Structure 1
Amino acid sequence: MTASSTPEIQLDQISMRYQTNSTEVLALQDVTVDIKKGEFVSLLGPSGCGKTTLLRIMADLIQPTNGEIKVAGESARAARLAQKYGIVFQSPVLYDWRRVKQNINLPLEMMGIKKAEREERVDYLLELVGLQDFKNKYPWQLSGGMQQRVAIARALAMEPEILLMDEPFSALDEFTREHLNEELLSIWSKVGSTVVFVTHSIPESIFLSDRVFVLSPHPGRLSAVVDIPLPRPRTPDMRHSPAFYQLISDIRDCFEGV
């Protein structure tokens, strides 16, 4: 899949301050980035550097202290109200009393989509994430990786232009995580959404992304933008290539002295 040169998300001088009981905390400082339509980018950095805060600002879940954000030329609020976002959190946040297909169906129900259209869409999404045989299971009957696939399917139910993902695989074992990285890229190649993916894993960011935005430790500043020239589709053996190891080294160097 090839990203368009048109910016889908534009962040201009974004800063975020929090007021605690005793002091003011600067979480983000003057972050400026452009993300192209159809691009897969990662926000990479150590814990506490403001990655999730930046993602929540993009989603219009919180408002920055300073700076401006545009989504397809509109405000983040307008994009949210137009349902241009799908969001996948670190925890799947599924309803245990609803079966898999009912969890995926929920946003379609809330929007009043007709039953026949809902069923067709849910069947497509179940196939997309490889859970056709588990549609009548409850979340507690699934593995952690399968639960996250349900969460991804639900986030895609309204066919969002932008998929925001906040460390969705961080709680999984390495084998499952790598497998889901491959599945996510397969899904992305079919749906064509712009993806912003938060992670603190350098190899994960390299394997998934077109570009990696490296955030410095607290307060979060954009310390580097790293292009990932690995060809697509990405394959598991790329993780063992000299080019992959060189990219790991290059990104590690971005954290030196910050």
Structure 2
Amino acid sequence: MSLIATRVPEIQLENVEMRYQTDTAEVLALHQVSLDIAKGEFVSLLGPSGCGKTTLLRLMADLIEPTGGRVTVAGKSAKEARLAQKYGIVFQSPVLYDWRKVKDNITLPLELMGVKKARRDEKALELLELVGLKGFADKYPWQLSGGMQQRVAIARALSMEPEILLMDEPFSALDEFTRERLNEELLAVWSKVGSTVVFVTHSVPESIFLSDRVFVLSPHPGRLSAIVDIPLPRPRTAEMRNSPEFFDLIAGIRDSFEGV
């Protein structure tokens, strides 16, 4: 069975704004975004290009600071959470080092922390099995498909056993068949590790299939347009994508967009 998120807030945003100064004007990228994400919950940030999804994720990760409002993680600042290594991050590109074997890419964070090699190798094998890449420890990234490389990136993000997994459109560059398969595999991994997951996507079906809730963002400037509960039972199956309930959720989310 999959995890059932408790209602204990893990991530909280209060009236968050983000402004950028360009050569010609100040740009308001995010406007008054407030939301709570529960511990152990899987949520998606959904919206069209330019609505601020990635900016919102970067604010949660303390990669940038908001120009207004507040971001808290388990009652502490985003910076404190980052320094406490609560985050694992998966980007749109796997960002693997071609000259390092798969197992050494996965355990790079542990290596930087001074973990002994024997333990690093043991952890790499555990994670490779978790993400369905058993037997690929001594391969190099260039020997893997795009989908396999992203699984390595997910394994690396999990190497520090993060409480929160932040994922920025990790499957957007993949073909539809590979993407759907990795959606299913990601949920299987999530059900075992128990992390809170924040997943950025511009795909309505993907957000529905993965999530407990979907935060819909509208652009110009980015703002929270709707919060949609996804009542589909877990574990999710491929057949659910063809159900009337699934198509009703797609229609409902599309109707919730403002100014698109």
User: What is the TM-score of this pair, normalised by structure 2?
Assistant: 0.98
How far apart are residue 4 of structure 1 and its match? 1.0
Partner of 2:66: 64
Helix, strand or coil for the counterpart of 2:36?
A: strand
Any idea what the Cα deviations from partners look like across 1:116-173, whole Å, max 9, x if unmatched? Answer: 3222211110100111221111111110000000000000000000000000000000
The residue that corresponds to 2:189 in the other structure is: 187
**What is aligned with 1:86?**
88
Query: Is contact 2:44-2:207 (8 Å) kept?
Result: yes
User: Does the 8 A contact of 1:207 with 1:234 survive in 2?
Assistant: yes
Aligned to 1:138: 140
Cα deviation digits, residues 25-76 of structure 1 (max 9, x gap): 1100000000000000000000000000000000000000000011000000
Q: Any conservation in 1 of the 2:96–2:105 contact (CA below 8 Å)?
A: yes
Which residue of structure 2 lines up, in the alignment, with residue 43 of structure 1? 45
Q: Secondary structure at the match of 1:133?
A: coil
Tell me how far 1:256 sits from its aligned partner. Answer: 4.9
Whether the 8 Å CA contact 1:50–1:218 is kept in 2: the answer is no
**Counterpart mapping for 1:239-254 below 5 A:** 239-254=241-256
Give identity over the alignment, percent.
78
Residues 86-235 of structure 1: pairs in structure 2 closer than 5 A? 86-235=88-237
Q: Distance in 1 between matches of 2:209 and 2:139?
A: 31
2:225–2:258: 8 Å Cα contact kept in structure 1? no
Q: For structure 2, list consecutive stretches of 5 or more residues without a partner in the other structure.
A: none
Aligned residue-pair number:
258
Of 55, 64, 77, 1:75 maps to 77
Q: 1:135, 1:115 → 2: CA distance?
A: 14
Aligned equivalents of 1:153 and 1:256: distance in 2?
36
Offset of 1:257 from its aligned partner?
Answer: 4.8
| Structure 1 alignment gaps of length 5 or more | none
Taking structure 1 as the reference length, the TM-score comes to 0.99
Query: Secondary structure in 2 aligned to 1:18?
Result: strand
Distance in 1 separating the partners of 2:186 and 2:163: 16
Query: Separation in 2 of the partners of 1:117 and 1:73?
Result: 32
Q: Cα deviation per residue 1:196-222 (whole Å; 9 max; x = unaligned)?
A: 000000000000000000001221000
